[in-house]
A and B are shown apart, each in its own frame.
Chain A
Amino acid sequence: MMMFASLSLAASSIIERPLRSLLTSLGIIIGVAAVYAMLALGEGAKKEVEESLNSISTRTMQVWPDWNRRRSSQSRPSMPFTETDVIEMRSINGVYAATGTITGRSYTIATDRNDVDGNFLGVDPDQLKASGSEVTLGENISFADIETRRPVVIISEGIQQRLFDNQNPLGQSLKVNNVAFTIKGVATKADSDISFGNDDLFVWAPITVARERIIGGNRFVQNYVSSIRVVGELGADLDRIESEMDIILRRSRDLRAGATPDYRVISSRGWRERAAEQTKGISFLLAAMGAISLLVGGVGVMNIMLVSVTERTREIGLRMALGAQKSNIMNQFLTEALLLCILSGIVGLGLGFFMSKFAMKTMEVELVFSPTVALVSFGSALFIGVVFGFLPARRAAQLNPIEALRHE
């Protein structure tokens, strides 16, 4: 019998018993939906991890004084970091950018006509690079600016908007706490920058100028910086870089081996990985649910096919008497099981898609929908159809036509 004939036969058999077919397919539908959601979630997690590995923020390590260090009469306060630390760290193999920053709290930034409260940072040329910012107008601060203590600044686009009406501010003058600077450039502001409110209002000045004329020095250390930020190159071994940073800091601070450091290195790569692990956990849960639903659904399909074979024993006997071969009968029932699973698979895919969309909105997880995802979850339904349809189909094909015809 040709393909189309057994397909239409299977279709009519399913349509003739709509409720039974629907109930039978429920397990498969849920299973496919779960497998689909699982794969979409897994792909999403993979993509997120890949993206985060490429972003600057995951490759960033920040060094801060350890504020939580237990104070006692013996322990001295945290030693400040120095520009020398930064220069040494910049030369570590695999470092993309290393920058030292000094910052105070809030500053008044003013032109002749207008003023605004914003952030003021003393920086070196690596600052923008390390925070993912870009100069959109003019030039970056140079080492020469730091060396010769030129009173120049770069302003964020937020400042440009608020104080200069988005006009070109290059060469114009700007006062920070009444100290005059010339604007040298405009830069985008990256999310990862330290700020004290006013998230988009930033002024960056050469670190020496900022320290000596505005923020103030340290009594003990001439070239101190408040914090250090080190960014590894793409694919660099961040653990190795961090341990080399440790060596530099311990040496410059005269820490004995085994002594508790008075600083902390903070990086976001830990929690990114944990987040990915968590997603994997959810993924696994969905996979388990999908597998169990498919299994139960498959048993349901097998059960209903066995019932169908029993019900239609006489029909099978008749078909055999009229010339149907074992393979014809086998195909007929296998096609029916398969068609049931294909239809369930299609509904399951739709359900999985909307479930995933919903989950994406409510749980704020990223899901990726790819043809592979659809194909694999659909394939699992086909697989179930073949595996669990086989036994009933074989039972039908093994029937003896004489006995089957006499079946009541």
Chain B
Amino acid sequence: MAASSQIHPLISCQDLTKIYVMGKEKIRALDGVSLDIFEGEFVAIIGSSGSGKSTLMNMLGALDQPTSGQVTINGENVGTMRNNKLADFRNRTIGFVFQQFQLLPKKSAKKNVELPLQYRKPKVRDASERALHSLDLVGLKERADHRPTELSGGQQQRVAIARALAGSPKVLLADEPTGALDSKTSNDIMALMQDLNRQGITVIVITHEDDVAAYAQRVIEFRDGRILSDTRREAAA
């Protein structure tokens, strides 16, 4: 699979630079990063805090735009998109998984999973079925009517993954997905991601834990806004 998709990278970053202005100080969060991610890859981006990995994730998730350089995702230049286009692009292309799950506490698991479909245009008619299918993919179909407060941390993160999958995105973008979980649950979640990746979904995980990164085929290490290393492995742990 990797061989055939290498011709057209799914995500392509060209000389990405992001500068934050804090008072008089200019902080160079990303400093000329160039990188290609191909369809079907399982990539871990690692680095300590302040290394620029979160900034990169915001760019890859089309949540933020670079000061200079280019981000092309699925053939579209994210840097020139306006707000509404950007929102629509996120909705179709990116599936987010957050460290704190970010589920709506008063809504059922199914309602939470349906959330991205609410913002899809044209209107999704089978949102309910698609939400159930997504929950099935993460093994939580039976819990569709439970509220997040009635679920364990691992189950909540599974719901969040189901939510990310519901919109059939190109990329699953997970920011410290195991940061709020114990190690056993972390392993379950990462195994699930690996499983989803084997089914063909591109997965990018941002983490500072080597254990988590070990599940990926490719590990990109960041330091001071630059790529320190970019390692590919044939077989994952």
Q: Which of A1, A318, A325 is B84 in contact with, Cβ under 8 Å?
A: A325
Instruction: Please give me the residue from chain A that is nearest to B105 by CB atom.
Output: A315
* Residue in B closest to A408 when the chains form the complex, CB atoms: B100
Asked if A322 contacts B91 (CB within 8 A), the reply is yes
Which single member of B83, B92, B96, B163 contacts A325 (CB below 8 Å)?
B83
Given A325-B88, A405-B102: A1 touches B118 (CB 8 Å cut-off): yes
Mark B179-218 against chain A: 1 for CB-CB distance below 8 A, else 0: 0000000000000000000000000000000000000000
Instruction: Decide: A402 near B83, CB < 8 A? Known: A322-B96, A322-B115, A325-B119.
Output: no
Contact yes or no, A323 B167, CB < 8 A = yes
- The reply to whether A323 and B63 form a contact with Cβ atoms under 8 Å apart is no
Please, how many angstroms separate the alpha-carbon atoms of A317 and B58 in the complex? 13
Does residue A364 face the partner (Cβ distance < 8 Å to B)? no
Query: Does B87 make an interface contact (CB < 8 A)?
Result: yes
Among B47-74, those with CB < 8 Å from A are 58, 61, 63-64
Q: Would A318 and B102 be within 8 Å (CB), given that A5-B118, A323-B90, A323-B91 are in contact? A: yes
Cβ–Cβ contact B87 & A324, under 8 A: yes
A314 in the interface, Cβ–Cβ < 8 Å?
Answer: yes
Distance A277 CA – B88 CA, assembled complex (angstroms): 61
Residue-wise interface mask of A (302-337) relative to B, using a CB-CB cutoff of 8 A (1 in contact, 0 not): 000000000000110111111111111000000000
CB <8 Å contact, A12 and B91: no
Residues of A within 8 A of B61 (CB): 321
> Which B residue sits closest to A397, measured CB to CB?
B83
Distance A405 CA – B61 CA, assembled complex (angstroms): 13
Do A1 and B102 touch across chains, with their CB atoms under 8 A apart? no
Q: Is B106 an interface residue (CB 8 A)?
A: yes
List the B residue with the shortest CB-CB distance to A321.
B96
Across the interface, do A405 and B167 meet the contact criterion of CB distance under 8 Å? no
Q: Does A2 contact B (CB under 8 A)?
A: yes
Q: How many A-B residue pairs have CB under 8 A?
A: 55
Closest to A401 in B: B63
Shortest B118–chain A CB gap in Å is 5
Which residue of the partner chain A has the closest CB to B96? A321
Which residues of A are found within 8 Å of B106, using beta-carbon distances? 12, 16
On whether the beta carbons of A314 and B119 are closer than 8 Å, the reply is: no
Do B84 and A402 touch (CB < 8 A)? Answer: no
A1 interface neighbour in B83, B88, B119, Cβ under 8 Å? B119
**Pair A319/B63 contact, Cβ less than 8 Å:** no
Residues of B within 8 A of A321 (CB): 61, 63, 90, 96
Closest to B95 in A: A322
Say yes or no: is B116 at the interface (Cβ < 8 Å to chain A): yes
**B104 contacts A by Cβ under 8 Å:** yes
**Most chain A CB inside 10 Å of its own CB: which residue of B61, B64, B118:** B118
Alpha-carbon distance A238/B123, docked complex (angstroms): 70
Which residues of A does B touch, CB under 8 Å?
Answer: 1-2, 5, 12, 16, 314-315, 317-328, 401-402, 405
Further pairs besides A1-B118, A318-B115, A326-B87: 14, Cβ < 8 Å: A1-B119, A12-B106, A315-B104, A317-B102, A318-B98, A319-B115, A319-B119, A321-B61, A321-B96, A322-B119, A322-B163, A327-B84, A401-B63, A402-B64
Interface residues of chain B, those whose CB is within 8 Å of chain A, are 58, 61, 63-64, 83-84, 87-88, 90-92, 96, 98, 102, 104, 106, 115-116, 118-120, 123, 163, 167
Q: Which 3 pairs, one residue from A and one from B, show the smallest C-beta to C-beta distance?
A: A323-B91, A323-B119, A322-B116
Of the A-B pairs whose beta carbons lie under 8 Å apart in the complex, a sample of 24, sorted by A's number, is A1-B118, A2-B123, A5-B118, A16-B106, A314-B102, A315-B104, A317-B102, A318-B102, A318-B104, A319-B119, A321-B63, A321-B90, A321-B96, A322-B96, A322-B167, A323-B87, A323-B90, A323-B116, A323-B167, A325-B88, A326-B84, A328-B119, A402-B58, A405-B98
